[in-house]
Structure 1
Amino acid sequence: MEDKLLEKTNRINLLYDFYRQMLTEKQQLFLEYYYLDDYSLGEIAAEFSISRQAVYEHIKRAAKLLEDYEDKLQLLAKHDQRMLQLKEMEFALARLPEAYKPELQSAIDKLRDLN
């Protein structure tokens, strides 16, 4: 159960990195408090003078929006694919003769810097 919760938190944090600008300031703030700063629903509710249920609904809706954006735009999925390709390139690089390594390593580094 705890692994699933951590997995969900990590996914929301990654999606938030990609789609933060598409959320309202309030949605951003609630997600940051809950997922990044590890505030409880009660702590957030007290901070904004609203009910825990209202906080929960705001967070749930914002997380759903992040998932909807990912379903449509696939930025996280494409990022994951690029990272996998970079790892495969690095594995291939390790097997090349030394003479070819600097040029390919430079290309890999440039790709990694884009992410």
Structure 2
Amino acid sequence: MDSPKYHVGQIVYFAPPAVKHGAPDGPHRIERLLPPDGGRRQYGLRTAAAGRERVAHEDELSGRTVVEALAQRLYEAGNPTNVPWARRGRTVRDSWIREAFIHLSKDTVDR
């Protein structure tokens, strides 16, 4: 099996099949990589609102959301250390993701 498409701490968009009742779609954070299930890669993830952990297959996820993309742009614009976003841990990323959520919610309110 090839390497995982997503990494721990990454924000992804979860789109569960209609059969998974109660699993909200939307932005989720990858919490851990799980062993494959029948050849399908699995991830443990949580909603951005810190809900309970869920298991999702890789094909139920899509890449970076607008929030993480904005957080990365904000980080890189104000990054005097030149440490790449991909090498930053969850502690640093979380603060920038919160900042991105604030920016996006202000944009929504201003419209």
Superposition TM-score tier, normalisation by shorter sequence: 0.3 to 0.5
The structure in which a higher percent of residues are strand is 2
From the CA coordinates, give the structure whose radius of gyration is larger: 1
TM-score computed with the length of structure 1 as normaliser: 0.33
The structure in which a higher percent of residues are helix is 1
